[in-house]
């Protein structure tokens, strides 16, 4: 397994281009299953999860072509199988996103149940129950979801919890259903909206985009021709590089991003003492060489503070002035990074779903590892602020969600290198 070695202590500065959003690219690639015509998707990030999604579609018999600019053209007319096998689902839970489109367009789907996860139990009951309400016949047997429907029927769905991939699965299922579907308590994450805009470009009729009530008028088919769609920039990658600059008291300008998707994160960075300047598609952060101030955050669905950014803020609080609390309300077990940061000398106390971080001037480099994507990224950030070398193991988690992280950090002046296995 590859490792990253980081020699901390350098103040980062420079400019970076932000990649397309992983969590928009995955549902949008799944949604290409709904189109009768070939579709081209651009601004695709260079990530393991994208490779896995291509394998997932490829093993169904779907034709994919990718060019040197990471535009992927998908032609689903060659499909021969309606299955997401365990071997792929176990490496990427987001494979569940093929359930809605397969069922709605082809009337059949066999998708392995994702099972447990490092950050919590993460059930998919809302996906399954809601599709049943739309008329699907669903059996869960031997670890697989077997779903059938002659044609799904539109209805009103009130989701018990705000679920991102749940909303996305139902949105895709509803596009080809008979009649109108209303999804209440829908997730409002920008990635959900990006999927909805993509579906509308294919010919779907979705309104209420960006709100918690989505209305989908079912159509017979999605057959718009010559569609090319560019994926939204990654707000979590953006936030991670902003912290990389803040934690090292540096300055960074991030381009090709969307400041309007990061309000809660930018507010907290200002509270931490950063000077933030934004344009339509760029963000600049300047710490003016100062130590950040500790901040308190509470995660919740968008537009509140994102769970995918709490580990990175925990890292910053460890080297900040004062005491900050990080409260996680979305997942029950998302503090994998805490013990590893403690091994680097961090002063963090865990009390149920809250991490109380007492900041200090520095951390000490150590060998560390984590079992999920954002926790692993937060250890890289801690390493940037630590004295000496930090060796981050199991970085395949990082490669799932960060496009060329060591190259991008090196571009900002970090001393970081990959040690191949």
Residues at the site binding ligand EPU, with contacts judged by CB under 6 A: 23, 26, 94, 120, 122-127, 161, 163-166, 307-308, 330-331, 373-374, 401
**50, 53, 54, 57 alpha-carbon torsion, rounded to 10°:** -160
Q: Give the separation between CA 301 and CA 330, rounded to whole angstroms.
A: 8
Q: How far is the CB of 161 from ligand EPU (least distance, A)?
A: 4
- Three-state DSSP state, 93: helix
Q: How far is the CB of 249 from ligand EPU (least distance, A)?
A: 27
Whole-angstrom distance between the N-terminal and C-terminal Cα of the chain?
5
- Three-state DSSP state, 330: coil
Task: Identify which of residues 313 and 331 has a Cβ nearer to ligand EPU in the complex.
Answer: 331
Q: Give the separation between CA 154 and CA 373, rounded to whole angstroms.
A: 36
Task: Identify which of residues 28 and 330 has a Cβ nearer to ligand EPU in the complex.
Answer: 330
Task: Identify which of residues 116 and 279 has a Cβ nearer to ligand EPU in the complex.
Answer: 116
Active-site residue flag, 155: no
Task: Identify which of residues 363 and 380 has a Cβ nearer to ligand EPU in the complex.
Answer: 380
Q: Give the separation between CA 345 and CA 20, rounded to whole angstroms.
A: 35
Q: Give the separation between CA 169 and CA 157, rounded to whole angstroms.
A: 13
Q: How far is the CB of 160 from ligand EPU (least distance, A)?
A: 7
Q: Give the separation between CA 364 and CA 343, rounded to whole angstroms.
A: 8
| Per-residue tokens: 257 | 């991003």
Q: How far is the CB of 359 from ligand EPU (least distance, A)?
A: 25
- Three-state DSSP state, 278: strand
Task: Identify which of residues 251 and 337 has a Cβ nearer to ligand EPU in the complex.
Answer: 337
Q: How far is the CB of 85 from ligand EPU (least distance, A)?
A: 18
| Per-residue tokens: 55 | 């394998």
Q: Give the separation between CA 277 and CA 327, rounded to whole angstroms.
A: 27
Q: Give the separation between CA 325 and CA 292, rounded to whole angstroms.
A: 15
Q: Give the separation between CA 270 and CA 36, rounded to whole angstroms.
A: 47
Enzyme catalytic residues: 117
């Amino acid at each position: 397994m590859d490792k990253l070695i980081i020699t901390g202590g350098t103040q980062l500065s420079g400019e970076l281009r932000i990649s397309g959003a992983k969590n928009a690219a995955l549902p949008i690639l799944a949604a290409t299953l709904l189109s009768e015509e070939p579709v081209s998707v651009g601004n695709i990030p260079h990530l393991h999860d994208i490779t896995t999604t291509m394998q997932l579609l490829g093993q169904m018999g779907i034709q994919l072509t990718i060019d040197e600019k990471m535009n992927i053209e998908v032609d689903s007319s060659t499909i021969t199988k309606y299955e997401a096998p365990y071997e792929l689902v176990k490496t990427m839970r987001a494979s569940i996103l093929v359930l809605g489109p397969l069922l709605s367009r082809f009337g059949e789907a066999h998708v392995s149940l994702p099972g447990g996860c490092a950050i919590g139990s993460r059930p998919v009951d809302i996906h399954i129950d809601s599709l049943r309400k739309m008329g699907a016949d669903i059996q869960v047997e031997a670890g697989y979801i077997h779903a059938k429907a002659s044609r799904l029927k539109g209805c009103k769905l009130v989701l018990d919890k705000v679920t991102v991939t749940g909303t996305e699965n139902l949105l895709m299922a509803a596009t080809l259903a008979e009649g109108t579907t209303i999804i209440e308590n829908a997730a409002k994450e920008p990635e959900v909206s990006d999927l909805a805009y993509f579906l509308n470009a294919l010919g779907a009729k979705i309104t209420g985009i960006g709100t918690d009530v989505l209305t989908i008028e079912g159509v017979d088919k999605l057959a718009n021709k010559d569609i090319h769609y560019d994926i939204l920039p990654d707000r979590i990658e953006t936030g991670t590089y902003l912290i990389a600059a803040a934690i090292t008291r540096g300055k960074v300008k991030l381009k090709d991003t969307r400041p309007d998707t990061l309000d809660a994160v930018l507010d907290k960075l200002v509270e931490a003492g950063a000077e933030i300047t934004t344009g339509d598609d760029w963000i600049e952060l300047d710490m003016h060489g100062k130590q950040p101030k500790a901040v308190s955050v509470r995660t919740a669905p968008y537009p509140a503070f994102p769970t995918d950014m709490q580990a990175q803020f925990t890292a910053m609080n460890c080297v900040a002035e004062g005491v900050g609390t990080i409260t996680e309300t979305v997942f029950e077990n998302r503090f994998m990074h805490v013990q590893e940061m403690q091994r680097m000398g961090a002063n963090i106390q865990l009390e149920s779903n809250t991490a109380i971080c007492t900041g200090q001037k520095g951390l000490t480099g150590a060998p560390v590892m984590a079992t999920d994507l954002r926790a692993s990224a937060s250890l890289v950030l801690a390493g940037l602020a630590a004295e000496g070398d930090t060796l981050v193991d199991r970085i395949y988690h990082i490669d799932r969600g960060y496009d060329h992280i060591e190259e991008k950090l090196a571009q900002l002046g970090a001393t970081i290198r990959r040690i191949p296995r």
